[in-house]
């Protein structure tokens, strides 16, 4: 079984081989479901010239906002800038290349990348800036844009539970981009809240089978910051 034991015991080990100029996918939607410890480790390593693929770029000073602080990202591929002021500033000044990609197209590019599909046609973005310079085709009377898929040197994902073989289960909407990214990394590292022995997770309810995952690390701590704390008036 040891050949299937994916557990590593330190963040150094988790990111062994991580270098400048690499392409890295980072799971999460806003700050929900992000691999906090792995993000911090890349920040500590100080790797530069990264192409980062992530729906958002964190907030100022947290999540991928940390990489922005150190100007570690040269190209950002994501769908939403939102209220991240530094991100917007680096984008508008041209200091960082930003490839804004529709959210569903981004998800599908990653899914396709992990599934060995080089490109796909989608109606999303036809007739907009997103389609500029891309092949288009009319299929059965509707116009579509050819979108190339995405893969990465490293995929950093966050899961709720893993077994030592790398089978993963996500929690609620902290799933988001994590399952597709897990399939699309040459090296996929899963930072999880709990690691159990093989057999303890019901095979009926595995979200990401262990074949996609190279390394599993139990996170030190998860701050799980909330961006919009909304509660019911009671």
Partner 1 sequence: MALSREQIAMRVAQELEDGFYVNLGIGIPTLVANYVPKGVEVMMQSENGLLGMGEFPTEETIDPDLINAGKQTVTAATGAAFFSSAESFAMIRGGHVDLTVLGAFEVDQEGNIASWMIPGKLVKGMGGAMDLVAGAENIIVTMTHANKHGKSKILKKCTLPLTGAQCIKRVITELALMEIKDGAFHLVERAPGVSVEEIQEKTEADLVIPDNVPEMNV
Binding site for partner 1 (CB under 8 A): 29-33, 55, 78-82, 88, 91-92, 100, 102-108, 110-111, 122-130, 160, 170-180, 207, 224-232, 234
DSSP assignment of 170-204 equals --GGG-TTHHHHHHHEEEEEEEEEEEE-TTSS-GG
Min CB(86)–partner 1 separation in Å: 13
Min CB(5)–partner 1 separation in Å: 26
| Structure tokens belonging to residue 178 | 């994590």
Inter-residue contact 59 to 87 (CB < 8 Å): no
Min CB(152)–partner 1 separation in Å: 16
| Start-to-end C-alpha separation, the chain | 52
Q: Which of residues 72 and 79 has its CB atom nearest to partner 1 in the complex? A: 79
* d(C-alpha 116, C-alpha 101), whole Å: 20
Strand partners, 168: 162, 208
Min CB(233)–partner 1 separation in Å: 8
Strand partners, 216: 7, 190
Q: Which of residues 134 and 207 has its CB atom nearest to partner 1 in the complex? A: 207
Q: Which of residues 37 and 125 has its CB atom nearest to partner 1 in the complex? A: 125
Strand 168-169 with 152-163, pairing: antiparallel
Min CB(105)–partner 1 separation in Å: 7
Q: Which of residues 54 and 72 has its CB atom nearest to partner 1 in the complex? A: 54
Q: Which of residues 9 and 138 has its CB atom nearest to partner 1 in the complex? A: 138
Inter-residue contact 144 to 126 (CB < 8 Å): yes
């Amino acid at each position: 079984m040891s050949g299937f034991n994916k557990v590593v015991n330190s963040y150094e080990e988790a990111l062994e081989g991580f270098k400048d100029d690499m392409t890295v996918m980072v799971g999460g939607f806003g700050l929900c479901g992000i691999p906090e410890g792995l993000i911090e480790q890349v920040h500590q390593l100080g790797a530069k010239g990264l192409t980062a693929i992530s729906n958002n770029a964190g907030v100022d000073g947290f999540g991928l906002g940390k990489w922005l602080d150190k100007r570690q990202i040269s190209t950002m591929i994501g769908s939403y800038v939102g209220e991240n002021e530094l991100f917007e500033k680096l984008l508008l000044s041209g200091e960082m290349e930003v490839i804004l990609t529709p959210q569903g197209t981004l998800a599908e590019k990653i899914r396709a990348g992990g599934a060995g599909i080089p490109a796909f046609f989608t109606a999303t973005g036809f007739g907009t800036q997103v389609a500029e310079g891309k092949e288009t085709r009319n299929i059965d009377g509707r116009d579509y844009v050819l979108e190339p898929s995405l893969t990465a040197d490293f995929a950093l994902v966050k899961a709720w539970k893993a077994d030592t073989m790398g089978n993963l289960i996500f929690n609620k909407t902290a799933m988001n981009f994590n399952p597709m990214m897990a399939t699309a990394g040459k090296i996929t590292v899963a930072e999880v809240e709990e690691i159990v022995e093989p057999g303890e997770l019901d095979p009926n309810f595995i979200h990401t089978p262990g074949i996609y995952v190279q390394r599993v690390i139990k996170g030190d701590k998860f701050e799980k910051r909330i961006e919009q704390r909304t509660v019911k008036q009671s």
